[in-house]
Structure 1
Amino acid sequence: MTTHTTGTRHDWLAARIDLLEAEKELTRRSDEVARQRQELPWVRVDKDYRFDTDAGSRSLADLFKGRSQLLVYHFMFGPDYTAGCPSCSSIADGFNGVTVHLENHDVAFSAVSRAPLAKLQAFKQRMGWTFDWASSFGSDFNADFNVWFTEQQQRDGGIEYNYRREPPMPEAMLTRAQPAGHEGPEGLLAGMTGTDVATYTRDRPGVSGFVLEEGVIYHTYSSFARGVDSIWGVYQWLDRAPKGRNENGIWWRHHDSYGRG
C-alpha cells in the first residue's frame, strides 16, 4: 500500500490547478531571467584563440560557421582523462537533436574541451555523437573563460569558479597518485574518467555565448556548475516523473555503461 497521498480525480484536478499557477509564475520568471541575460553588456574578444577540429585548425570566428551567434558547451575532458566526464556526457547526449535546430536559427554550437582532438574523436565515436567538438589543447581559451585551473591555483585557493572563490584543496587530495574511485561523489566521477579528484576538478563545466557583429566577436554570457542544469535534459524529465529526481548519490553513467557490474 502506498504511503503517498491519494485522492479522487476531483482532488487531483483541484491540486493540479493550484500547481498550474505556480508553474505559470515560474515560466514568467524564466522569461524575465532570459531577458536579463540578453541585456548583459557584451565584452569584446580580441585574443586569437585556435582550436583543432574535424575540419582542421580553426579560429573562434570559424566556429560560428557563417552564423551571427555561437553557443559553447565547456565539456570536462582534460588531456589526462581516459573518458569524458560522465555528467557532461549525460548532458551531451541531448546535443545531437538540438544542434540542427540551433543552426537553422542563426546559432552555431560547439562543445570545447582541452583534451587533444584524437581523444575527443574516439570518445565521440564511442558515444555515437555527431555535434561539433573542438579541442582547445594548448590554448588559453578554457582558462580565460574560467573552466580550467592549475594545480597551483588549487593549492593556493586561487580558483574563482561560478563567480566565487574556492578554498585551497586539501594536500591529501592533491598528492593522490591513483584514481580516486569511490571517495565521495567527485571521487566516483573522477574514477569514471580514469583520473584522481585533483586532476578531474581542474576542468569545470559551463556554457558560454558569443556574438559576431561586423567582424568583431563579443562574449555575451557564461554559466557554470548548477547553472547548466536547465540544459541537462534527463533532469527536466525526472522533475516531471512521479518520484522526481529520487537521488541517492551519483547514479548516472556513460550511456553505454549501464548494466555493467
Structure 2
Amino acid sequence: MKTPPIVSPEEWEAARQRLLVEEKQLTRARDALAAKRRRMPWQAVEKAYEFDGPEGRVGLLDLFDGRRQLIVYRAFFDPGVSGWPDHACVGCSMVADHVGHLAHLNARDTTLVFASRAPQPEIERVKARMGWSMPWYTITDSFDADFGVDEWHGTNAFIRDGDRVFRTYFINARGDEALGSTWSYLDMSALGRQETWEDSPEGYPQSPPYEWWHWHDEYGGPTRPGSGSA
C-alpha cells in the first residue's frame, strides 16, 4: 500500500483547507440541483394502483397516510431474486439498513414506504428478522413497470393535491446510494426541506431550520403545513 505523505499538523490543515473549497462547491451544487427538482413539472397519476398491506388492500393515495408527500422505494424482495426467501436482495437490504428514523420525515409532511412483490407474511418475517420498521407494501399490479422499477431498484417521489396524485421525481441506480437520511429524501421531494434558506418557488411551505427539528420521540404528531393541498 503506497500511502500519502506524512506531514506536520500545519501542512495537514493547509491541505484540508484547500480541499474544503471543493467540498463547499459540491454542497452548493447539490443545493442548486435540489432547487431544480422543486421546479420539475409534475406528472399526473391517472391509474388506480393497489397494494397489499398489513391491514389489507389499499390504494396509492392510502400510502400517503394522510401526509402531503410520499416517497416509494422499490425494493427487490421477490420470488426468484437472490436471497429469496430468507432475505431481500443484498443492495436493497443495505438501503433499508441506512433509512433514518421516519419521525423526522413525517414531521415534514412526508411518508416513506418500501414496496416489493413478496407477500405480506414474507415481508413481515424479514422485517422482524432484520429489525426494519418502515411501512412495506406488496405490489399487485403494473406500478413497478409504470414507474421504472420493474427490473431495477429505484425511488419515486409523489405529492397529492386533495385526492389527486402527481409524480414529482425519480432516482435510481447509484443515485439510491445517497439516500437514507432525512435530508436526502427531502432534497428529492417536490417541497424540499421546507426551510427558509432554500431557493423554492413562491408560496412553498418554509420555516427556519433547527426550529422544526426535534428528538424523534418528541414531535407530538406530524407537522403538516398546508397538508393535502398543493
Task: Tell me how far 1:226 sits from its aligned partner.
Answer: 0.8
Aligned-partner Cα distance in 1 for 2:167–2:2: 51
Aligned-partner Cα distance in 2 for 1:105–1:66: 12
From 124, 138, 144, the counterpart of 1:121: 124
How many residues align? The count is 178
Partner residue of 2:68? 68
> What amino acid maps onto 1:100 in structure 2?
A
From 214, 220, 225, the counterpart of 2:173: 225
Task: Tell me how far 1:130 sits from its aligned partner.
Answer: 0.9
Aligned-partner Cα distance in 1 for 2:101–2:157: 16
Task: Tell me how far 1:232 sits from its aligned partner.
Answer: 5.5
1:98 matched to 2:90:
no
Whose relative contact order is higher, 1 or 2, with alpha carbons under 8 Å and at least 6 apart? 2
Bigger Rg over Cα: 1
1:89 matched to 2:37:
no
Displaced runs of 4 or more, over 4 A: none
Higher helix share: 1
Name the SS for the 1:93 alignment partner: helix
1:29 matched to 2:29:
yes
Partner residue of 2:4? 4
Partner residue of 2:111? 108
Task: Tell me how far 1:76 sits from its aligned partner.
Answer: 1.3
Task: Tell me how far 1:94 sits from its aligned partner.
Answer: 2.1
Counting aligned pairs with the same residue, the percent is 38
Task: Tell me how far 1:2 sits from its aligned partner.
Answer: 6.9
Partner residue of 1:141? 143
> TM-score w.r.t. structure 1 length?
0.65
Which ranges in structure 1 are unaligned for 5 or more consecutive residues? Answer: 149-202, 234-261
- Say what the alpha-carbon RMSD is for the aligned residues: 1.8
> TM-score w.r.t. structure 2 length?
0.73
Q: Deviations over 1:127-156 (max 9, x none)?
A: 0111100110x31111111111xxxxxxxx
Aligned-partner Cα distance in 1 for 2:67–2:50: 18
Task: Tell me how far 1:118 sits from its aligned partner.
Answer: 1.7
Which ranges in structure 2 are unaligned for 5 or more consecutive residues? Answer: 182-230
Name the SS for the 2:155 alignment partner: strand
> What amino acid maps onto 2:159 in structure 1?
V
Aligned-partner Cα distance in 1 for 2:180–2:103: 18
Q: Deviations over 1:42-65 (max 9, x none)?
A: 011011111111122111000001
Aligned-partner Cα distance in 2 for 1:70–1:224: 16
